């Protein structure tokens, strides 16, 4: 189901010519992106320059068809598993509706995300709540709404949660296991190894001890194990190793406690391409390897195959998004060329946090100028406010030009801040030649209304 309302924009027919970036490897653009007249790119049938002119910049463009296609690809890859969208990547009322319509669950980390899902009537039994430090409000909200699974992340959380369960039915929970597997694109987004804040260690026995404590709480029903290895994991092999270790743990728990847990949640972290040529396996590649290893490991342990859950977030949302900025200044300094734009680390903190890199393309103007290495920087008062280091842009780049940054659908707006009171950008969905605002632009009035100090 695509949107049936919105602003009708110029519809660009699909062209046989692919974007130049697509020739070098996995596309960093939405699958339906096409070259448009005048050096533009159209997404969802709408030229990007037209969107920049109508909605202003910075603006985030989200291709609804791409989001839905990627959600469906995960369901096809693991048809017998539960596919649960990791809401922290980006969440709005429209996204909640899309996930519900595509048959996905939701993985949430806060009472706010829970309440937003509830406001759209999302089935609570298809929601998973986890986090290493759930607040009392998080737990109360989850219990009030009746979420399907709560993931236990520490021993202290077990008694706190059990004390709040009021109904006659126990709350179904999983235990997050730290499997001792290092995987992910940056040390700050690796969450499966020893010595960090998430989960309960498999190596030192904390995970097994937590299971024993949960089994001693009549208000809690343990249904399975959970793990999350990290983000931007570009190979299925770490997931296969996690399957082996967790199935072995399931077998030990059976032998120790006489229980057969029916569920295994492998989390998310599946990689997407931000630069041409970045490795980004299709969901089917992850699905095949995970399923093969599950069958093998369960056979070796004589354990009935548990029902799998996966939690893709970035891999559904990131490739569907394009950020648009307008150039404010171009200058040379220290032998480098800088293009300063009207956004920056307030709407995309990932380069500053993780050294993330992006593809950048000028849209809406054709020239024969040669390309040169240009560093795209933001407008904020930080030397580290760099959006893209040494990207190839036309030598005649000038103030007023619009730059498009693909791969911007996840962990940009959801991590945005109010730094310098510039206001968080709007999010505009496009589909079938139409556009509509999902999130409006944050204004100075929004900031002023929160300031009640006088």
- CATH number, residue 192: 3.20.20.10
Domain final residue pick, 315, 349, 373: 315
Q: What is the pTM of this model?
A: 0.92
Out of 16-30, 166-180, 330-344, 364-378, least confident range: 16-30
Residue 118 is assigned to a structural domain of this protein:
yes
Residue 181 is assigned to a structural domain of this protein:
yes
Q: The domain containing residue 420 runs over which residues?
A: 7-63+319-449
Domain final residue pick, 275, 294, 315: 315
Average model confidence (pLDDT) across the chain: 91
Q: How many domains does the chain have?
A: 2
How high is the pLDDT of residue 23?
32
Residue 61 to residues 37, 154, 192, 414: CA-CA distances in angstroms?
A: 19, 38, 32, 14
Residue 429 is assigned to a structural domain of this protein:
yes
Is 253 a residue whose pLDDT tops 60? yes
How high is the pLDDT of residue 378?
97
The answer to whether residues 325 and 212 belong to one domain is no
Mean pLDDT within 428-448: 96
Report CA torsion sign: 285, 288, 294, 299: negative
Return the number of other C-beta atoms located less than 10 Å from residue 410's C-beta.
Answer: 24
How high is the pLDDT of residue 132?
87
Task: Tell me the binding residues.
Answer: 269, 311-314, 350, 354, 382, 411
Active site residues: 381
The answer to whether residues 57 and 69 belong to one domain is no
By the 8 A CB rule, do 246 and 177 touch?
A: yes
The answer to whether residues 32 and 123 belong to one domain is no
Residue 1 is assigned to a structural domain of this protein:
no
The answer to whether residues 263 and 179 belong to one domain is yes
The answer to whether residues 290 and 390 belong to one domain is no
The answer to whether residues 327 and 307 belong to one domain is no
Is 333 a residue whose pLDDT tops 60? yes
Task: Tell me the binding residues for pyridoxal 5'-phosphate.
Answer: 269, 311-314, 411
Residue 101 is assigned to a structural domain of this protein:
yes
How high is the pLDDT of residue 186?
46
Residue 183 is assigned to a structural domain of this protein:
yes
The answer to whether residues 49 and 124 belong to one domain is no
Q: 150-196 pLDDT, tens per residue?
A: 999 999 999 999 999 987 899 999 999 998 886 555 454 444 445 67
How high is the pLDDT of residue 27?
83
Residue 6's pLDDT band, with cuts at 50, 70 and 90, is low
Task: Tell me the binding residues for substrate.
Answer: 314, 350, 354, 382, 411
Q: 373-424 pLDDT, tens per residue?
A: 999 999 999 989 999 999 999 999 999 999 999 999 999 999 999 999 999 9
With tokens 């609570």, the residue in question is 124
């Amino acid at each position: 189901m695509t949107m049936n309302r919105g602003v009708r924009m110029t519809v660009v027919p699909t062209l046989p010519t692919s974007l130049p970036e697509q020739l070098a490897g996995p596309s960093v653009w939405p699958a339906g992106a096409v070259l448009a007249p005048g050096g533009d790119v159209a997404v969802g049938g709408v030229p990007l320059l037209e969107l920049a002119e109508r909605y202003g910049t910075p603006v985030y463009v989200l291709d609804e068809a791409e989001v839905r296609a990627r959600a469906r690809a995960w369901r096809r890859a693991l048809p017998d598993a539960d596919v649960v969208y990791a809401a922290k990547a980006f969440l709005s009322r429209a996204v909640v509706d899309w996930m519900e319509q595509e048959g996905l669950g939701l993985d949430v980390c806060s009472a706010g995300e829970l309440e937003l899902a509830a406001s759209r009537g999302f089935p609570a039994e298809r929601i998973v709540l986890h986090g290493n430090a759930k607040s009392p409000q998080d737990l109360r909200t989850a219990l009030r709404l009746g979420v399907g699974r709560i993931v236990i992340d520490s021993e202290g959380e077990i008694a706190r949660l059990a004390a709040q369960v009021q109904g006659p039915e126990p709350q179904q929970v999983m235990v997050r296991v730290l499997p001792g597997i290092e995987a992910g694109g940056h040390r700050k987004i690796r969450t499966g190894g020893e010595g960090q804040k998430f989960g309960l260690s498999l190596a030192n026995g904390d995970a097994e001890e937590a299971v024993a404590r949960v089994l001693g709480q009549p208000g809690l029903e343990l249904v399975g194990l959970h793990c999350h290895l990290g983000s931007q994991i570009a190979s299925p092999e770490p997931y296969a190793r996690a399957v082996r270790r967790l199935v072995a743990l399931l077998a030990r728990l059976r032998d120790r406690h006489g229980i057969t847990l029916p569920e295994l949640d492998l989390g998310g972290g599946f990689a997407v391409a931000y630069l041409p040529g970045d490795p980004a396996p299709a969901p089917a590649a992850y699905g095949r390897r995970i399923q093969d290893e599950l069958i093998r490991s369960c056979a070796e342990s004589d354990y009935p195959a548990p029902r799998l859950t996966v939690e893709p977030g970035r891999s559904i949302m990131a490739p569907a998004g394009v950020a648009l900025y307008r150039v404010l200044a171009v200058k040379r300094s220290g032998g480098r060329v800088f293009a300063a734009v009207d956004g920056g680390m307030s709407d995309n903190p990932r380069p500053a946090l993780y050294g993330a890199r992006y593809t950048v393309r000028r849209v809406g103007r054709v020239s024969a100028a040669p390309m040169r290495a240009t560093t795209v920087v933001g407008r904020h008062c930080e030397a580290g406010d760099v959006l893209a280091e040494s990207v190839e842009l036309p030598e005649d780049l000038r103030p007023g030009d619009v730059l498009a940054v693909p791969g911007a659908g996840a962990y940009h707006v959801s991590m945005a801040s109010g730094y310098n009171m510039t206001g968080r950008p709007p999010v505009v969905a496009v589909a079938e030649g139409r556009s509509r605002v999902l999130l409006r632009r944050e204004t100075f009035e929004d900031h002023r209304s929160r300031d009640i100090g006088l």
